[in-house]
Structure 1
Amino acid sequence: MKKIRLVLLLVLGLILAGCAKSNIEVFRFVNHELELKIGEEVILNLIYGEYSEDSEVKYILSEDGIIALNGNVATGLAVGEVTVRATIDDVKFAKVIIRVVQDQISSMQINADNNYFPDAGSKQLSISVNPDNLPTDVTWSLENATDIAEISVDGVLTVMDATNSAKITVVAQSTFDPTMVCKKVFYIKNMPTESVTIMIKDNKTQIKPGDTIEYIVEASPESSEVNYTIESSKPDILSILPENKLQASSSVSGTEIVVITCTTWDGEKATVRVAIKK
């Protein structure tokens, strides 16, 4: 009986010793995988297991140029994936996979002193991006080909001819992130239209066939009041005459609704409806 008890105690002792040994952490990295952006840093924390935390650790990279290691601090250098192995005795190795990703531009804008050319001349344009640590290099272009303006590769916008009112759109495309494009409109000779309205004199918006009425255009700034076009949605029913006049056709037999549209030189629009009823 005593022998059986002795054997049981021996077996129990072996089991307990095995459990105690299994509770010792193995040599490994805290994280199996890490992700960081170019320029960011991360600490490669180790669990030393049976080794002393004062032990000297040797790090081995599967590829060069993706991260830089300074001790146990990794810095992202280029987009890619690298495996880092750590060892103390060249017998046991810990492994971590590090992925370096590229940060994205969330917003971009074109900057200038102002967007108005009263006369021929040049302006230096610049770019700002968010986050502001990303490159601001762009490819410059004009949205529509024109012989009155040009833009250089370094962002100098030059207007050669300011004789007539015009607007030009500058386009900037990021070379760091080609999907990011922004635009800015510049005005030549006249400032952009702030407001425009068109109305019928004496509010005569309901007339008879053959009647003639007068329209009035009000716009700000004043330059927009002399730089506009007038269109009729039904020119055979209500035609446009000189001196701000509109004339209804005498052949209207029922009721016709005509929309008169005023478009300023820079594309701003205003409308008024006229009813012609016999």
Structure 2
Amino acid sequence: MDMQAVRSVLLDEARELLVELEQNLLAIESAGADPERINALFRAAHTLKGSSGMFNLHLVVDFTHLMENLLVRVRNGEQAIDGPLVSLLLGCGDYLSRLFDEVAEGRDDSDPDPRERARLCAALNDYLGGAADSAAPAASATPASAGLQRWRISLRPEPQVLSYGLDPLAFIQYLTDKGELLSLQILDEQLPALAELDPESCYLGFVLELRTQASRESLEQALEFIAQDCAIELECLDPPPSAAQGGAPAERQAEG
């Protein structure tokens, strides 16, 4: 896998999403909000956050996370999207465009305008009520126990994965951001003797148990960039409540 090509795809997608974000905001400003446009705004912020997390673009992830939290409230009808909010989100899109300009130049941790970032974050937090946990995942707005399931996730990267610029630990960190890490096991049965060890090869595998509200599809998307060079197994350890009551469906879920 050519990681430069993957980053190029990420940047192209980010540009397209930012254009889509601006177009939908301008349409809302001129014609009013509707569920389709609001959902498109949320999807743009959510996708930008998720794909950026794959490359540890923390400045993008943290910023879009605030946007996502606010757009969750808009989508749930808890916050009206009026002129001032449209203007704020347009400003957020402009700032993100400049942030991705930095990423395109290889300056992943460079903030093009710290003062503007601080102003926008403060405004987003004002809409969120200044909650101390405004950087927490948007799903935390629901009860902690709602929809939680335990997943057993096995990652066995190919030896050459490091040479492609893919760090398995970054993907593990991204997964843990989606929920609570209950356990992490390191598989080292393929680790050679020290004299035979190639520092550019990956010999370790990982098995983690995660409690999360994320769906199987969401977990698979979190790992899509490494899937070509890593054997991945996902097993849901907690069947859905309806399956648990029925007995037989729970067995089928565990097998699936």
TM-score category of the 2 structures, normalised to the smaller one? under 0.3
Say which structure is richer in strand: 1
- Decide which structure has the larger Cα Rg and report it: 1
The normalised TM-score by structure 1 is 0.18
The normalised TM-score by structure 2 is 0.19
